[in-house]
Amino acid sequence: MANKKIKVAVCFYGQVRLLETFKLFYSKWKHPSIELDFFIATWNDYAHGDSSVHFTDGVWLPYKSTVKNWEEGNTQKMSYLFAHVVNLKRNYELVKDFKYDACLAMRPDILLDFEALSEEIIKLVEIEKDTYQQMCDLMESNTIPFMGIA
């Protein structure tokens, strides 16, 4: 990729079970071609001030008052937090007037090989840009393939 860094939003959603995950793994995520912004939507049941990760934006929601009338299970809770973190990212894009090149949405207790992930992100962004340019070229040339219904 040229000199411009790939901007990636890392969106954590769900209960933070191990604060050490942030300290030991996510705080060390660095790549010379990638600029990371971290967002989080979780419950207010952990001390988030000591995570070693700088969050661009985050929301720590009250668990008991939020879920007291919900159905059993975790799908509704996961969906609620997922919607919150995606909105945080989107609002940040709107306020700063830009769009992330990629977005990684994940639970805070999932561990990934960041070096391998970084290489895949770079490949995917390049494929997306190549595909977008090919579509633009097709539209400009007025040779978009048309498939009719017989």
| 146 part of a folded domain | no
pLDDT band at 94 (very low <50, low <70, confident <90, very high): very high
103-112: per-residue pLDDT in tens? 999 998 888 8
| 147 part of a folded domain | no
Domain total of the chain: 1
Q: Hey, is 121 helix, strand or coil?
A: helix
Please say whether the beta carbons of 71 and 41 come within 8 A: no
Q: What pLDDT shows up at residue 67?
A: 84
Cα distance between residue 102 and residue 117, in whole Å: 12
User: How distant, in Å, are the alpha carbons of 18, 48, 108 from that of 92?
Assistant: 27, 20, 20
> Tokens 């207010």 correspond to what residue?
44
Examine the pLDDT at 148 and tell me if it is beyond 70: no
Nearest to 7 by CA among 86, 97, 100: 100
Residue 62: give the domain boundaries: 6-141
67-87: per-residue pLDDT in tens? 888 877 788 888 999 999 999
| 1 part of a folded domain | no
Of 11 and 74, more confident: 11
95-129: per-residue pLDDT in tens? 999 999 999 999 988 888 888 889 988 888 888 77
Nearest to 60 by CA among 46, 76, 78: 46
| 149 part of a folded domain | no
Here the CATH number for the domain that contains residue 130 is 3.40.50
| 137 part of a folded domain | yes
19-67: per-residue pLDDT in tens? 777 777 777 888 999 999 999 999 887 665 566 778 898 888 888 888 8
| 114 part of a folded domain | yes
End-to-end Cα distance, the chain: 44
| 121 part of a folded domain | yes
Please say whether the beta carbons of 6 and 99 come within 8 A: no
Prediction pTM value: 0.80
Q: Looking only at Cα atoms, what is the longest distance across the chain?
A: 64
| 150 part of a folded domain | no
pLDDT band at 140 (very low <50, low <70, confident <90, very high): low
pLDDT band at 1 (very low <50, low <70, confident <90, very high): very low
